[in-house]
Amino acid sequence: MDFHSRSAGEKEFITMSDKSSGKPSMDSFSFSVSHQWFGTGLMRLTMTTVGVLVFLLALPTLTFAEEIADSTKPIVWFDTGKTAFALLTFAICATVIICTELARRGKPFYVRPIAGLLAMEEAVGRATEMGKPILFVPGIEDIKEIDTVAGLMVLSSVAKMAAEYDTPLEVPTSRALVMTAAREAVQAAALAAGRPDYYNEDRIHYITDEQFGYVASVCGWMYREKPAACFFLGKFFAESLFLAEAGNAVGAIQIAGTAETTQLPFFVAACDYTLLGEELFAASAYLSGEPAQLGMLKGQDFGKLGAIVLVILGCMLATWDSISPRGKNAEGQNLPRRSQWITDTVLKGG
Amino acid sequence: MSKTVPVLIASIVGCLMIVAYFSPPLLPARQMAEDWFTIVATIAIFLGGANLCLHHLKKISDREAGWGFSAVTLISFAITIAVGLLKIGVVPESEQQIKLAWSGPFQQEGSGFWWIYQYLFSPIVSTMFALLAFYVASAAFRAFRAKNLEAILLLITALIVLVGQTRDREITSLFLPPPAEGTPPYVPIADLTEFIRKTFVTAGQRAIMIGIALGVVATSLRILLGLDRSYLGGDE
Amino acid sequence: MTSPLLDKLNTLDRRWIFLSMALAVLSPILLQIGSDETPSPPTIKLFDEIERLPEGSRILMAMDFDPTSAAELYPMALSFTRHCCLRHHKLYFVTIWPTGKPMIESTIKAVIGADFGSGDRPYQYGVDYVNLGYLAGEAVAISQISSDIRKARPQDARGTSLDELPIMSGVISVKEMDLIVNASAGFPGGKEWVQYAATPQKVPIAVGCTGVQSTQLFPYYPDQLLGLVTGIRGAIEYETMLAAKYPNPYANRSKRPAFLRGGAQRWAHRLMIGLIVLGNGIHLANRYRRTTHP
């Protein structure tokens, strides 16, 4: 697999850890980028940020000028009750963006291997060998769900692999907008693989919005066509086990991923590989191999580190509350717990 | 251009949603964006309907495997749409409505659409959902095997929770001395189930949720900054 | 070592499992074998809150489920509505599931129509209860009604303007509610009501959810969720409390649909345990065979 960036206008020179073999090392990713990237990357970031800020400041002034002018109350531009949450959001976003920029500058980062993603090429290869189709289900929710978008991002990579091997890829969708986006993704992947003729829009089709109608149709197709590989990546609910069990019954290699925690146990029980929660979101970045995207994964890891520190601090505070209860105030009422002050005051707005 | 405009729309609306959470004057703009999504998603129904018809008509004309199901799908689709749009069996509910043609809700009790919902749709989807019990049993039989230490722990936990979820948990109190009069019997497995649920499950869930939240932030940033456009078909 | 039984079990057709499950579920239903439950604290909390609220309190009944999950949630919805009617609270029915509207109508018919539509103080539409119907937009719809109900839904399910209904006077948003009771089958549901309505507007909320959803909602209890009623077990618990407090007629089996479903669930659980034990027996026997006769 070639891990060159997809940006056509910008020249990126990514050095993978296992360059000699022409394949990425799946044990770890370490990458560096030539410095000429930084200029365009930072420019894009700055332009986007400035553009968005200008728009956001102009929007209320222009669109809601009348309402704001009529208002007798002073305009509150910032809800101070949400300060802590805003700072937290800013800190996480800033960490992710800083890591992206560091990755672009060539700082090598370690990204742990994810078994499910390593198995994707194997699954596509198996389908090719067996001469059977591949099934990709991008969840049952609409494109506004981030899980669906993450699923479509992975679809792009799977479609590229399938196009390279010329293995049929079936993408039934339960939302019309998802179908449109999936068609775009597969068409672009076919072009990127140098096989524009591979794209067949009939294979990416809409079934129904109704959960079990969709399941019945997909499972029926699975029993008839017996796909060799099944990918279930997106937002799933009760249908998860139907799909996974149908795939199991036809003997397909199955890779699933969802951020819907209630469905993870079903996928774990019935599939060969499962991307647990955040791994689904990391998947497309991991598969793209682009430094900017992998840098974001690192930023995510720093966020997790911050969360761990906060959890430990919270536990310590709660323990302190338990072993040393607070006294009473002047009216003889019990003073609130210290941890309660954090939840009621600092974290109130979140 | 065909990719830049959608990315710009995604960036602007995405940032608006974030900033509006902290800035009350932007709330109407946020609501406007939400309304727009509802409108676009609703229009997409026509796209979906058209695709559904084309896809199944093609299957029928090509006599592909399972084309009979396609015929059933199209006939059911046409009947449901006709019954709903023509409001077959709907009667006006009030004096005011009598003067108006096509008045009365399409889902009105006794109407054709209500009949389809009540006597076709409802039993079919309930049956589909009920099949889950069979699949759960089959998956549990296959997956819960004591292959290694982790699997043994999972197995023991599953058994405890399964017993603890029904009244059979009271069997465990049979081995304990009888409780004092007026007090309920102590059921160790019920407490253990609660302990597992409150401690391990909740802790695990929270950890996964934190990971997911951070993953959502990173993915959202990738989309908002236009770094990942693969969901739109990549770069131009 | 040869063991025909073990070989047979190793290749056991899953249709035998399906058949045994069918028998485990069907037998208690046909023989009318029910199951009772001892109420758990998250269920007791909701029951006590509905008891504690003064008569005429406003309760938003969000019925976010469809026929698919009705087996688990409909008995719960009936119990919640019955309890609220017994306390004579004002009820505001709403759903954010397109297939949830008939569920509301069915609940109203089974509870208000059958038990509270007549008598000394009959429940009157528009005065004591209202059906706001389906709100399109999923989580966005919750966000909208939490700021302005009329903006999200200017009319009720019957097409009457909300301003013409006495029950809606003084009600602007979810903020005016004393309690939100949500029967949730998934997304959008309990989690979204907590995130977009209850927590921002500081309105107490209790959720009745499917068993599989409970792990997702437990992290919100007890801080952001006042009570949590989970699956058929939770529904039986609620019915038990209702039967204890109002034995006439709610101790009657015909008014306790969850009780009857509990029997089937109990036997299905027993079968699951049996299958897991059998599966491990096969696994261990295979291991033994491999180690002794490599």
Same domain, residue pair A141 and A227: yes
Note whether B228 and B11 are within 8 A (CB).
no
Note whether residue A336 is domain-resident: no
Q: What DSSP element (H or E) covers A257?
A: strand A253-258
Q: How far is C93 from chain B, CA to nearest CA, in Å?
A: 17
CB contact (8 A) between residue C269 and residue B163: yes
Q: Does A11 touch chain B (CB under 8 A)?
A: no
Give the pLDDT confidence of A271-326 residue by residue, as tens digits.
Answer: 999 998 889 988 888 887 788 788 888 888 898 899 899 889 988 988 998 888 77
Amino acid (one-letter) located at C141: A
Note whether residue A338 is domain-resident: no
What is the side-by-side order of every strand in the sheet holding C90-95? C129-134, C90-95, C58-64, C179-184, C205-209, C227-230
Note whether residue A9 is domain-resident: yes
Can you name the CATH fold of C41-255? Answer: Rossmann fold (3.40.50)
Q: Does C230 touch chain A (CB under 8 A)?
A: no
Same domain, residue pair A89 and A132: no
ipTM: 0.84
Helix axes A176-192, A146-165, angle to 10 degrees: 40
Q: Does A238 touch chain C (CB under 8 A)?
A: yes
Note whether residue A341 is domain-resident: no
Same domain, residue pair A132 and A24: no
CA distance C76 to C236: 8
Q: How far is B184 from chain A, CA to nearest CA, in Å?
A: 29
CB contact (8 A) between residue A176 and residue B51: yes
Same domain, residue pair A41 and A123: no
Q: A78 lies in which domain range?
A: 1-108+290-318
Is residue C195 very low, low, confident or very high in pLDDT (cuts 50, 70, 90)? confident
Same domain, residue pair A307 and A197: no
Give the pLDDT confidence of C91-148 residue by residue, as tens digits.
Answer: 999 999 988 888 999 999 999 998 888 888 889 999 999 999 998 878 878 888 888 8
- Say which DSSP state C38 is in: P
Same domain, residue pair A14 and A88: yes
Which residues of A are less than 8 Å from C216 in CB distance?
261-262
Which C residues, 32 through 71, put their C-beta within 8 Å of a C-beta on chain A? 68-69
CB contact (8 A) between residue B141 and residue C140: no
Residue C156: phi and psi, rounded to 5, are -85, -175
Q: What contacts A52, CB < 8 A, 6 or more positions away?
A: B11, B12, B15
Note whether A227 and A135 are within 8 A (CB).
yes
Same domain, residue pair A266 and A298: no
CA distance B96 to B114: 23
Q: What is the DSSP string of A202-215?
A: GGEEE--SSHHHHH
Note whether residue A350 is domain-resident: no
CB contact (8 A) between residue A238 and residue C68: yes
Give the pLDDT confidence of C148-179 residue by residue, as tens digits.
Answer: 888 888 888 888 888 999 999 889 999 999 99
CATH code of residue A122: 3.40.50
Q: Which of C211, C205, C216 is nearest to C230 (CA)?
A: C211
pLDDT value at C57 more than 50: yes
Instruction: Please state which of the ranges A240-254, B26-40, C89-103 shows the lowest mean pLDDT.
Output: B26-40
Domain boundaries, chain C: 4-31+264-292, 41-255
Total domains in the fold of chain A: 2
- Say which DSSP state B226 is in: T
CB contact (8 A) between residue B236 and residue A224: no
pLDDT at A43: 59
Q: Which residue has the tokens 């990237």?
A: A37
Using the 3D structure, point to which of A233, A267, A288 is the last residue of a domain. A288
CA distances (Å), origin C132, targets C100, C150, C158, C200: 12, 10, 8, 22
- Strand ranges for chain A from DSSP E: 134-137, 169-173, 204-206, 229-233, 253-258, 273-276
pLDDT at C129: 94
Same domain, residue pair A295 and A224: no
CB contact (8 A) between residue B166 and residue C278: no
Return the residue of C nearest to B163 by Cα. C269
Note whether A176 and B47 are within 8 A (CB).
yes
Q: Which of C190, C245, C180 is nearest to C221 (CA)?
A: C190
Note whether residue A335 is domain-resident: no
Same domain, residue pair A158 and A168: yes
CB contact (8 A) between residue A304 and residue B211: yes
Q: Which chains touch C (3 or more CB pairs under 8 A)?
A: A, B
Q: Does A263 touch chain B (CB under 8 A)?
A: no
Is residue B236 very low, low, confident or very high in pLDDT (cuts 50, 70, 90)? very low
Which residues of A are less than 8 Å from C189 in CB distance?
none
CA distance A287 to A24: 10
Number of neighbouring beta carbons within 10 Å of residue B233: 23
Tokens of A201: 């829009």
Q: 3-class DSSP state for residue C284?
A: helix
Same domain, residue pair A94 and A154: no
Which residues of A are less than 8 Å from B18 in CB distance?
89
| B1-30: average pLDDT | 82
Return the residue of A nearest to C98 by Cα. A210
Q: Which chains touch B (3 or more CB pairs under 8 A)?
A: A, C
pLDDT at A33: 39
What is the side-by-side order of every strand in the sheet holding A229-233? A204-206, A169-173, A134-137, A229-233, A253-258, A273-276
CB contact (8 A) between residue B105 and residue C284: no
pLDDT at A8: 36
Q: Which residue among A93, A149, A269 sits closest to B143, beta carbon to beta carbon?
A: A269
pLDDT at A37: 41
- Tell me what the pLDDT averaged over chain C comes to: 89
Is the peptide bond preceding residue C222 cis, with omega within 30 degrees of 0?
Answer: yes
pLDDT at A195: 93
What phi-psi label fits residue A92: left (phi over 0), alpha (psi between -120 and 50 degrees) or beta?
alpha
Number of neighbouring beta carbons within 10 Å of residue A197: 8
Tokens of A185: 């993704």
| A129-156: average pLDDT | 92
Note whether C174 and C203 are within 8 A (CB).
yes
Q: Which of C78, C63, C4, C55 is nearest to C255 (CA)?
A: C78
Instruction: Please state which of the ranges B29-43, C90-104, C205-219 shows the lowest mean pLDDT.
Output: B29-43
Same domain, residue pair A44 and A21: yes
Same domain, residue pair A209 and A277: yes
pLDDT at A193: 92
